[in-house]
């Protein structure tokens, strides 16, 4: 693992100064803006588009995402407009019968909840929501998910890293248990892939989806999915021309084809070739691969190590098991929340409030001084 140095120079300074909110959306890389400007310039100068341009950049994007999740088959990657598109695709194809159950975690992101709620209503299945353990509990959240799985479980649909507080789920153990009962594992990796190591060759999920505008450094409105063998030959959400075999041959598009493009090619969104966004997505994925998720975790861990003892002095303990790029700090009644919010604003810090936690999500563009300002804000807000 190569030690990662601060990457602030790759972003506009105004965008990253005090920005501890990468879990909301990433700051925009300079390279993405340059790619968009070039794409717009090219469009201004050219009325048409060469046929290969409909396919080439899409293939490169799939290959970059496949590399990121250690997938040996780029054709198992689909280009999507959002995580919810991938989840809905999985829900449409999941064999589900009356009396079975689907398991989700409490306070899961809505995009990985509503599709399962509606699917369960549709067939008379149970949506089983696993509660977060209370402080001091002897079992973990993963333990509770494992305990909820039984012979009637059709699928576990869960995040790798919980979006609200950064809780880590033991996906390897959950995968083993779902295999025991022949259930699917569907992963929302939006808050993990790109910043946290993800290996589908080891984990073998049935579906893994990720929005592209957070840790994958892409523009808003893009996403990706890995579809495993259970999804081979499934039914896509939409029937578009470009997902069919032979779509490179524009002259024969009127000669309709039954066959789809290989593997996950059938699940890609229509107009996937988006000639402005696709070059931006490619630049973002290339940069994330160049950084390496292990290196990002190590960099963010170093940021926290400098302030963890200071935060502990005012009663803010970092979770023992956590992803270093997304940490939920639980507030006690010892803090004046109005003062704390004002201090964050005064110090130019951007972060998020999720439930009873303050979500702090740094990246490799942040400086130790910014985490020190965070600690200083907590000190000022002690009652």
Copy the structure tokens of residue 274: 């988006």
Quote the pLDDT of residue 1. 59
Q: Which residues contact 45 (CB under 8 A, 6 or more apart)?
A: none
Q: Dihedral sign, CA of 318, 319, 323, 328? A: negative
Quote the pLDDT of residue 379. 93
Q: What is the rounded CA–CA span in Å between residue 329 and residue 331?
A: 6
Residue 326: closest CA among 39, 45, 116, 23: 23
Quote the pLDDT of residue 2. 73
User: According to CATH, what is the number of the domain 33-290?
Assistant: 3.40.640.10
| CA distances (Å), origin 301, targets 178, 298, 363, 364, 374 | 32, 5, 10, 10, 15
Are 241 and 252 a contacting pair, CB within 8 Å? no
Long-range CB pairs of 232-240 (<8 Å, 24+ gap) are: 232/263, 234/89, 234/92, 234/93, 234/266, 234/267, 235/92, 235/93, 236/89, 236/260, 236/266, 236/267, 237/85, 237/88, 237/89, 237/92, 237/267, 238/269, 238/270, 240/268, 240/269, 240/270, 240/271
Q: What is the rounded CA–CA span in Å between residue 166 and residue 107?
A: 12
Domain at 8-27+292-381, CATH from 3.90.1150.10, 1.10.3470.10, 1.20.1510.10, 3.40.220.10: 3.90.1150.10
Q: Going residue by residue through the chain (383 aa), what tens digit of pLDDT does each one get?
A: 578 999 999 999 999 999 999 999 999 999 999 999 999 999 999 999 999 999 999 999 999 999 999 999 999 999 999 999 999 999 999 999 999 999 999 999 999 999 999 999 999 999 999 999 988 888 999 999 999 999 999 999 999 999 998 999 999 999 999 999 999 999 999 999 999 999 999 999 999 999 999 999 999 999 999 999 999 999 999 999 999 999 999 988 999 999 999 999 999 999 999 999 999 999 999 999 999 999 999 999 999 999 999 999 998 988 888 899 999 998 888 899 999 999 999 999 999 988 778 999 999 999 999 999 999 999 999 98
Phi, psi of 265 (to 5 degrees): -55, -30
Copy the structure tokens of residue 232: 């081979």
pTM to 2 decimals?
0.95
Which bin fits 297, alpha (ψ -120 to 50), beta or left (φ > 0)? alpha
Phi, psi of 213 (to 5 degrees): -100, 5
Q: What is the rounded CA–CA span in Å between residue 181 and residue 97?
A: 15
Quote the pLDDT of residue 106. 96
Domain residue limits, the chain = 8-27+292-381, 33-290
């Amino acid at each position: 693992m190569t030690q990662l140095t601060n990457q602030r120079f790759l972003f506009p300074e105004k965008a990253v100064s005090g920005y501890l909110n990468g879990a909301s959306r990433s700051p925009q890389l300079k390279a993405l803006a340059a790619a968009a400007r070039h794409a717009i310039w090219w469009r201004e100068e050219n009325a048409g588009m060469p046929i290969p341009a409909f396919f080439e950049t899409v293939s490169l994007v799939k290959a970059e995402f496949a590399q990121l999740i250690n997938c040996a088959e780029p054709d198992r990657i689909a280009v999507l407009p959002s995580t919810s598109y991938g989840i809905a695709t999985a829900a449409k194809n999941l064999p589900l019968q009356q009396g079975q159950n689907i398991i989700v975690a409490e306070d899961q992101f809505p995009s990985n909840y509503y599709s399962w709620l509606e699917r369960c209503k549709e067939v008379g299945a149970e949506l089983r929501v696993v509660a977060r353990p209370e402080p001091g509990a002897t079992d973990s959240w993963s333990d509770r998910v494992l305990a909820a799985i039984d012979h009637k479980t059709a699928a576990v649909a869960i995040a790798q890293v919980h979006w609200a507080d950064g809780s880590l789920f033991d996906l390897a153990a959950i995968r083993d248990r779902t295999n025991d009962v022949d259930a699917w594992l569907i992963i929302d990796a939006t808050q993990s892939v790109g910043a946290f190591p993800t290996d589908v060759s080891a984990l073998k999920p049935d579906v893994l989806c990720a929005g592209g505008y957070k840790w994958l450094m892409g523009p808003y409105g893009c996403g990706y999915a890995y579809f495993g063998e259970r999804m081979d030959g499934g039914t896509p959400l939409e029937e578009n021309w470009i997902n069919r075999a032979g779509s490179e041959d524009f002259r024969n598009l009127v000669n309709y084809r039954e066959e789809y493009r290989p593997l996950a090619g059938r699940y890609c969104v229509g107009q996937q070739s988006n000639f402005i966004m696709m070059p931006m997505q490619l630049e973002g994925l290339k940069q994330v691969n160049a950084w390496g998720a292990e290196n990002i975790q190590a960099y963010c861990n170093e940021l926290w190590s400098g302030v963890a003892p200071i935060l502990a002095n005012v009663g803010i303990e970092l979770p023992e098991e956590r992803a270093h790029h997304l940490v939920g700090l639980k507030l006690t009644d010892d803090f004046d929340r109005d003062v704390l919010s004002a201090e964050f604003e005064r110090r130019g810090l951007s972060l998020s409030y999720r439930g009873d936690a303050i979500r702090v999500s740094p990246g490799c563009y942040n400086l130790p001084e910014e985490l020190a300002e965070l600690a200083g804000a907590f000190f000022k807000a002690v009652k």
